[in-house]
Amino acid sequence: MIGWLIALVVVAALAIAGWKGWRYIEREHKEARSLPLDAVDFSKLKDGTYTGEYEGGMYKWRANSVRVTVSGGKVTQIEPLSGIEDQGDGKTQMLYDRVIQAQSLQVDTISGATLTANAYLQAVENALLQAE
């Protein structure tokens, strides 16, 4: 009977500890998930080498810094400086490569575009909406 009681207390203690621990991790995860990434205006980049740091959330687990090189108005290189462990699968580098590739032109509208099928279809669609 005493043995059962001890076992129960140990299980309860573990459960409480686990729950508390999980709460800690959960807060950290939440923060990481909701990290606001402000829109960078890629058209305004000035040439140079810049170091960027992220303090890494509540428990500093994700602290890291990188060096970004801008030349010709474009991001040409991103190098990890600290806090970044490439887990052997090159995924971090792939992520950086995507940033470099994806700095495509985010345009609002286009000057000199010939009349595209899309534009025509849009106008037709708008006309049909009114016709409904």
Partner 1 sequence: MFTDVAQAESRIAQDTQLAMGTVMAYRIWGTNAQACLEAVFGEIARLEGLFSRFDPDSEISRINRSAGRSSEAVSFTTMQMLRQALDICAECPGYFDPTIGPLVALWNIGKGSFAVPGAAKIQRALDLVDYRDLLLDPAQGTAGLRRSGQSLDLGGIAKGFAADQVMNIFQEYDVRSAYANLGGNVAAWGGRPDGFPWQVGIQHPRSTNGLIGAVAVRNGVVVTSGDYQRFVTDPQGRRFHHLLDASSGYPAATDLLSVTVAADSGVLADAYATSLFIAGKAGARRMLREHPEIEAVLVGQGGQIYVTKGLAERFQPAEGIRVKIFD
44 touches partner 1 by CB under 8 A: yes
Q: Which is nearer to partner 1, 21 or 73 (CB)?
A: 73
37 touches partner 1 by CB under 8 A: no
- In this structure, what token pair is assigned to residue 62? 């994700």
Q: Least distance to partner 1 from the beta carbon of 120, Å? A: 7
- In this structure, what token pair is assigned to residue 105? 């032109």
**Dist CA 128 CA 132 (whole Å):** 6
- The residues facing 75 across adjacent strands are 70
**Which among 68, 65, 79 has a CA at the least distance from the CA of 103?**
68
**Dist CA 33 CA 85 (whole Å):** 19
Q: Least distance to partner 1 from the beta carbon of 114, Å? A: 6
Terminal CA-to-CA distance of the chain, rounded, Å? 78
Count interface residues toward partner 1 (CB under 8 A).
Answer: 26
132 touches partner 1 by CB under 8 A: no
Please select the residue that binds partner 1; options are 88, 111, 131, 132, rule is CB under 8 A.
Answer: 111
2 touches partner 1 by CB under 8 A: no
Binding site for partner 1 (CB under 8 A): 39, 41-44, 72-73, 101, 104-116, 119-120, 122-123, 126
